[in-house]
Amino acid sequence: MLTSSSSPPRLLLISLILPSCDSKSPPSDVKREFFTDSQTHTTCGWKGVASYYNADVNGKKVSDVAWYYPQAKDKAKDIEGYVAFYKNKVEISG
């Protein structure tokens, strides 16, 4: 699991192919030992600059599996630090 069992949804890297959609988790629920920082950064006009994570679970490496806004702009402070996962790169259950 990539997040703690107490936080729905639980994120599992079992199946890596699902319809594209996003899911967000509080930063405290993400098990960082499965992630490394990506060199990818994108910019949203109202949220700010996003940083990305790569995942490595059981030898399966997935690039840019998740993103977050480490310093969101004022109007997006409620999502600052939250980690969003691509459903087409992880299986979400729970």
Q: For the chain, give the DSSP string.
A: --B-TTSSSEEE-S-----S-EEEE-GGGB-GGGEEEEEEEEEETTTEEEEEEEEEETTEEEEEEEEE-TT--GGGGGGTT-EEEETTTSEEE-
Band (pLDDT 50/70/90 cuts) for residue 30 is confident
- Domain covering 10-93: architecture: Beta Complex (2.170)
Which residues on neighbouring strands pair with residue 57, listed in sequence order?
60
81 has a pLDDT exceeding 50:
yes
Nearest to 38 by CA among 92, 87, 83: 83
The model's pLDDT over 42-72, given as tens digits with 9 standing for 90+, comes to 999 999 999 999 988 777 788 898 899 999 9
Band (pLDDT 50/70/90 cuts) for residue 2 is low
All structural domains of the chain with their residue ranges: 10-93
The pLDDT assigned to 37 comes to: 95
**pTM of the predicted protein model:** 0.72
